[in-house]
C-alpha cells in the first residue's frame, strides 16, 4: 500500500474541504494527519471528506468525515457536494449514492454544475439530537446567552441533520453578532452532550433567510451546508417560512446561496455549488503532503 494518496483542495461556498481518495485501501485518514493539515496555512481546512470503497451493495463509496480538530462528523453538506463534483469529473457520471455513519445519501450533479444532495430526514426527538435534558418540544428549547433579563440569543430550535444543530433566530444580519465569542460557549454547553453546530438565522421572507454558523469541531467557517438544512427545516417547522427556501450564507464569499427543500416525503434536499482549487498527494497517517506541479491546470480529480 502506497504511503501517499491523491487529494483535492475544494470548497463549497467557501467551506474549506479536502477530498481525500482512500479507495483501494484499508487504512483511514488519522486525526493526527487532520490536525497537521489544518495547522498548515496552505492546507488549512474545515472538513476532510475521505472517499473509501463502498461497504454496502448499491452505494458508490463510503465517506468518512473529519473536522479540522480531528473529530468525526456524521454529516457535511458542502463537503458532499465537493465529493460529487470530484467523482463526476473523474467518471462522467451524474448521480451517486454514498454511505456515511449517519446513513445513505443520494446526490446528483445538474447540467448547470450545481449539485443536489438528499441529506436525509431531520430528527427532532430530544434524546436523538441529542440534548442532555428532556424537551417535549425541541423547536424552542430553553437556552440563552447574555444578560438574564435581556438575552442576546435565546430559545433556539434544536434538531439533528445526522449531526446536532441549534438555530438561534435573530432579527438583524447575523454578521452583526459576535459569534466568535458566543459560538464556543454554545457549542460546548452542557445541554449538548455531543456538542452542537450553532447557527444564527434571520428570516427575510417566507422563502428566504440569511445564516451564519459556528461549527462544532471547526469553529467559525465561511459556510455550513447541514446548518443551512437545519435552519431551513427549523424555519418551516416553526411556521416562519415555507418548506422551500433560499438561504444566503452571510459569511461566504459574495454571500452565496443554497436552496433547501424539505420535501413532502420528509427528505431534505440541499442544492448549491462546489469548486475545485488544486490537487496534490498526502500521507493519510502523518498529513505530509505535496501539491501537484500541474495542479492548477488539471481537472477536478480527488
Ligand atoms: N461544514 C459542514 C458541517 C461539518 C460537520 C460539523 N462541523 C459537525 O461536526 O457536525 C456542512 O457543510 O454541513
78 lines ligand 1 (CB under 6 A): yes
pLDDT(18) > 90 = yes
Mean pLDDT along residues 245-253: 96
* Average pLDDT score, the chain: 96
Is 78 marked as a binding-site residue? yes
122, 158, 218, 220: residue to mutate for ligand 1 pocket, most atoms within 8 A of CB: 218
pLDDT digits (tens, 9 = 90+) for 196-241: 999 999 999 999 999 999 999 999 999 999 999 999 999 999 999 9
C-alpha cell at 165: 444543530
Q: How far apart are the C-alpha atoms of 2 and 8, rounded to whole Å?
A: 18
245-250-254 Cα angle (round to 5): 100
Name the DSSP letter for residue 26.
S
Is 140 marked as a binding-site residue? no
* Predicted pLDDT of residue 1: 84
Nearest CA to ligand 1 atom 1: 224
Whether residue 128 contacts residue 118, with contact meaning beta carbons closer than 8 Å, is answered with no
Mean pLDDT along residues 177-183: 97
Mean pLDDT along residues 10-30: 98
Please name the residues in contact with 266: beta carbons below 8 A apart, sequence gap of 6 or more. Answer: 121, 122
Mean pLDDT along residues 264-291: 98
Domain 5-110+274-297 part of CATH 3.10.310.10? yes
pLDDT digits (tens, 9 = 90+) for 257-269: 999 999 999 999 9
Query: How do the residues of the chain divide into helix, strand and coil, expressed in percent and rounded to 5?
Result: 20, 35, 45
Q: How far apart are the C-alpha atoms of 247 and 195, rounded to whole Å?
A: 24
* Predicted pLDDT of residue 193: 98
**Is 297 strand, coil or helix?**
helix
**Is 165 strand, coil or helix?**
strand
Strand-pair partners of 208 = 205, 246
Q: How far apart are the C-alpha atoms of 272 and 85, rounded to whole Å?
A: 11
Intrachain domains 5-110+274-297 and 144-266 with the same fold: yes
Phi, psi of 298 (to 5 degrees): -80, 165
225 lines ligand 1 (CB under 6 A): yes
Q: How far apart are the C-alpha atoms of 228 and 150, rounded to whole Å?
A: 27
Q: Which of 227, 216, 152, 149 is nearest to 189 (CA)?
A: 216
Mean pLDDT along residues 148-155: 96
pLDDT(297) > 90 = no
C-alpha cell at 275: 469548486
81 lines ligand 1 (CB under 6 A): no
C-alpha cell at 265: 416525503
To the nearest 10 degrees (0 to 180), the angle between helices 225-237 and 77-91 is: 130
Strand-pair partners of 62 = 52, 99
231 lines ligand 1 (CB under 6 A): no
**What residue spans define the domains of the chain?**
5-110+274-297, 144-266
pLDDT digits (tens, 9 = 90+) for 89-143: 999 999 999 999 999 999 999 999 999 999 999 999 999 999 999 999 999 999 9
Whether residue 157 contacts residue 143, with contact meaning beta carbons closer than 8 Å, is answered with no
Residue 299: pLDDT band with limits 50, 70, 90: very low
Mean pLDDT along residues 17-26: 98
67 lines ligand 1 (CB under 6 A): yes
* Predicted pLDDT of residue 301: 40
* Predicted pLDDT of residue 296: 53
115, 212, 216: residue to mutate for ligand 1 pocket, most atoms within 8 A of CB: 216
Phi, psi of 254 (to 5 degrees): 55, 25
Q: Which residues are catalytic?
A: 76, 224
**Other CB atoms within 10 A of residue 53 CB:** 13
What CATH number does domain 144-266 carry, 1.10.150.80, 3.40.630.30, 3.30.465.10, 3.10.310.10? 3.10.310.10
The model carries a pTM of 0.95
pLDDT(163) > 60 = yes
136-160-126 Cα angle (round to 5): 20
Amino acid at each position: 500500500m502506497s504511503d501517499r494518496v491523491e487529494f483535492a483542495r475544494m470548497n463549497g461556498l467557501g467551506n474549506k474541504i479536502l477530498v481525500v481518495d482512500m479507495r483501494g485501501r484499508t487504512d483511514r485518514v488519522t486525526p493526527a494527519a487532520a490536525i497537521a493539515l489544518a495547522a498548515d496555512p496552505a492546507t488549512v481546512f474545515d472538513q476532510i471528506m475521505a472517499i473509501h470503497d463502498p461497504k454496502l451493495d448499491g452505494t458508490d463509496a463510503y465517506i468518512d468525515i473529519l473536522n479540522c480538530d480531528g473529530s468525526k462528523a456524521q454529516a457535511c453538506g458542502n463537503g458532499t457536494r465537493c465529493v460529487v463534483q470530484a467523482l463526476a469529473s473523474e467518471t462522467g457520471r451524474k448521480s451517486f449514492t454514498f454511505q456515511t455513519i449517519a446513513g445513505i445519501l443520494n446526490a446528483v450533479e445538474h447540467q448547470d454544475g450545481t449539485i443536489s444532495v438528499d441529506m436525509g430526514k431531520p430528527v427532532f426527538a430530544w434524546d436523538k439530537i441529542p440534548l442532555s435534558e428532556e424537551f417535549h418540544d425541541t423547536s424552542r428549547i430553553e437556552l440563552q446567552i447574555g444578560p438574564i433579563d435581556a438575552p442576546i440569543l435565546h430559545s433556539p430550535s434544536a434538531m439533528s441533520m445526522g449531526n446536532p444543530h441549534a438555530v438561534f433566530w435573530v432579527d438583524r444580519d447575523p454578521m452583526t453578532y459576535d459569534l466568535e465569542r458566543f459560538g464556543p460557549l454554545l457549542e460546548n454547553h452542557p445541554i449538548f452532550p455531543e456538542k452542537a453546530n450553532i447557527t444564527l438565522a434571520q428570516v427575510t421572507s417566507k422563502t428566504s433567510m440569511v445564516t451564519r454558523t459556528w461549527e462544532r469541531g471547526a469553529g467559525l467557517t465561511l459556510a455550513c451546508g447541514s446548518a443551512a438544512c437545519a435552519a431551513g427545516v427549523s424555519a418551516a417547522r416553526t411556521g416562519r417560512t415555507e418548506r422551500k427556501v433560499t438561504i444566503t450564507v452571510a459569511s461566504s464569499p459574495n454571500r452565496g446561496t443554497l436552496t433547501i427543500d424539505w420535501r413532502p416525503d420528509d427528505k431534505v434536499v440541499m442544492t448549491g455549488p462546489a469548486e475545485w482549487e488544486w490537487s496534490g498527494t498526502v500521507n493519510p497517517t502523518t498529513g505530509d503532503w505535496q501539491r501537484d506541479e500541474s495542479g492548477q491546470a488539471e481537472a477536478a480529480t480527488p
